[in-house]
Amino acid sequence: MTEMLLYILGLVLFALGLLVSIAWHELGHLSTAKLFGIRVPQYMVGFGPTIWSKKRGETEYGIKAIPAGGYIRMIGMFPPGEDGKIEARSTSPWRSMIEDAREASYEELKPGDETRLFYTRKPWKRVIVMFAGPFMNLVLAVALFFGSMMTLGIEGQTTDVAAVQKCVIKQSEKREKCAAGDPVSPAFKAGLKDGDKIVAFNGTPVSDWDTLSDRIRDTIGPATVTVERAGQRVDLHPTLVSNEVPKKDEDGKVVQPLDYEPAGYLGFQSKTEVAPLSFGETTDRMGDLLENGVHSVIALPGKIPGLWDATFGDGERADDSPVGVVGAARITGELMTVEAPPTTILVMFMNLLVGFNVSLFLFNMLPLLPLDGGHIAGALWESVRRHTARIFRRPDPGPFDVAKLMPAAYVVAGVFVCFTLLVLAADLVNPVKIT
């Protein structure tokens, strides 16, 4: 019963975090639009039926039933057609898409709004309005990440010995019990004990796990390990052997998904502790997070076959498989039931929100309509056209009609909808699990 309540608590916390992230995104659009005098009739968090709304000034603020997005409605997103009209007037299906989009952007047009239309603002102002939404998600991600890393910290390995392995087991075999024929581990044979603190390796002091780990991996053969035991320093003389251990990248981090390589092996499990990171360490980790996010977006199309096989075939769901809102909610629910210190669970939950906001930032920056990046690209192209015309003393080409790209935007939206449905099905049928 308690586990179920904790699971439900996780779902509720994720839903609240999702709503805050969406509202924060739309607040970026809203505040900059109002700053530049664009009329905004609506600010909505969610989609579907409205469950609450209140009008303040000229803007209606509200929450809708499905917390899967949000929007603000700005007047005059697209310029009028070449004939100066905005109403739909074509029997061509593609042309009708363009004209319907144009007409929708002028809904609720009131007298005096002629000077408050989105498209009449200079391109740099439109770029700011459209960039402000994703930028707010980036700001929130950075604030949450720095706040959690520098105050709560993360769980990391130390040079203290938690347990000594009695035998040498290839780590790729993923087993813990010794089998007949397994050689005795160097640590056990040399007399390393639980509770020892390794302070030097081959005469060189070590104070952190990464340094100790690298020196162990680089050594095969006799070595001297100095430990602190009951207030005394004791030198041990193990003979390290080669074993299959998780492969590390050039930055010293374990490669994901796991791969293995031969390296020096001592044979003990280190203790872990939660410790805050420095500003520099946190900055490095934030940079890595953004870099990995970019790589994940680029690699996304290549993961679709595996996602399909995991959903409709007999394939396994990869740990780095794309996860949707439902999957992330399930992970948060499971997270709350994990037997771990509350601070560790809180940091993991914060990191989930960080990852979600980084994803919102990166996806929305793609130069494709109907995403924010598509509108940014349109405004930048208009600026290039106008500056080029000015340099060559040609007539001003006027606003770039982004509405003409709406057929392509519907195709992009259709692809995103199909991908979202596939991820949803995978999250329901074969979800990513942490327990």
Residues tagged active-site? 26
Q: How far apart (Å, rounded) are the C-alpha atoms in residues 419 and 412?
A: 11
CB 3 within 8 A of CB 114: no
CB 3 within 8 A of CB 50: no
Among 288, 342, 298, residue whose Cα is nearest residue 322: 298
* CA torsion, ordered 214, 218, 221, 225, to nearest 10 deg: -20
Q: Provide the β-strand partners of residue 205.
A: 200
Burial degree of 165 (CB within 10 A; 0-12, 13-18, 19+): buried
H helices within 112-261, ranges in order? 123-151, 186-190, 209-217
What 8-state DSSP symbol labels residue 367?
A: S
Q: How far apart (Å, rounded) are the C-alpha atoms in residues 234 and 188?
A: 15
DSSP 105-128: TTTT--TTGGGS-GGGS-HHHHHH
Amino acid at 427: D
CB 375 within 8 A of CB 305: no
Amino acid at 406: M
For the chain, the residue count is: 435
Q: How far apart (Å, rounded) are the C-alpha atoms in residues 145 and 127?
A: 27
- Sheet strand arrangement including 221-222: 221-222, 239-246, 260-265
Burial degree of 257 (CB within 10 A; 0-12, 13-18, 19+): exposed
Among 36, 48, 47, 24, residue whose Cα is nearest residue 75: 36
Q: Provide the β-strand partners of residue 63.
A: 45, 52
| Two structure tokens written together for 287 | 């940079």
Angstrom CA distances, 38 to 111, 225, 407, stand at 14, 69, 26
